[in-house]
Chain A
Amino acid sequence: NAGVMQNPRHLVRRRGQEARLRCSPMKGHSHVYWYRQLPEEGLKFMVYLQKENIIDESGMPKERFSAEFPKEGPSILRIQQVVRGDSAAYFCASSPPGGAHMNTEAFFGQGTRLTVV
């Protein structure tokens, strides 16, 4: 059973370009969380999704950032018109049906390290 898969592991974008980060949850998991981590800082929650639904996006910037988790395929975090301040590690986590209500842990991917030059 493969773990949470994130790709690419490293992504370099020039200012103004778009970044698309992909996350395939563990098999059977229907809940996905996205977090951002800056050097020497903790994980900052961005968005919580179930299949075809955004449950909570309170941590996501209102502009340039969007996320989706379609019925088929991976979850995508999209950052439009990237700026240097978007450089960070972006982690995705998944949990089984019922999500955190089931008192279960979240399984994390290895992250995508975005560098904006």
Chain B
Amino acid sequence: SQKIEQNSEALNIQEGKTATLTCNYTNYSPAYLQWYRQDPGRGPVFLLLIRENEKEKRKERLKVTFDTTLKQSLFHITASQPADSATYLCAPVSGGSYIPTFGRGTSLIVHP
């Protein structure tokens, strides 16, 4: 069955450091993969999308990589700030259904 794995333990880092979050998937052939941010009590907010033929995508302090051989995406936040503290969700989108399917998310806590 299809499975999406994100670190279940919270990631604690110091302000200014780079945060790296991991998303592994099995039994998927995603046409693309999305990353969202979710704050407590609120809906997810889209951050970045990376296609299967792209290795890396950047947007300001954010960087996403996509390795279809390893079946893994990495999400980086450079120069992290306390305001980056949130839960980050990855969502591979299969070429068949085209329905975003979400992992459990990883909680990021940036300490001042």
Residues on A facing B (Cβ under 8 Å): 4, 33, 35, 40-45, 48, 56, 91, 93, 99-101, 103-111
Contacts and interface: CB of A to CB of B under 8 A. Distances in A.
26 contacts: A35-B102, A40-B104, A41-B104, A42-B4, A42-B105, A43-B102, A45-B102, A48-B99, A56-B99, A91-B44, A93-B43, A100-B93, A100-B98, A100-B99, A103-B31, A103-B32, A103-B49, A103-B51, A105-B34, A105-B49, A107-B46, A108-B43, A108-B44, A108-B45, A109-B43, A111-B43
Nearest to A40: B104
Interface residues of B, number: 23
A42 B105 CA distance: 7
A25 to B, nearest CB: 13
Given A99-B98, A101-B98, 5 more contacts: A45-B99, A100-B99, A105-B34, A105-B49, A108-B44
A33 B34 CA distance: 15
A33 B45 contact: no
B100 interface: yes
B89 interface: yes
Interface in B78-108: 89, 93, 97-105
B61 interface: no
B59 interface: no
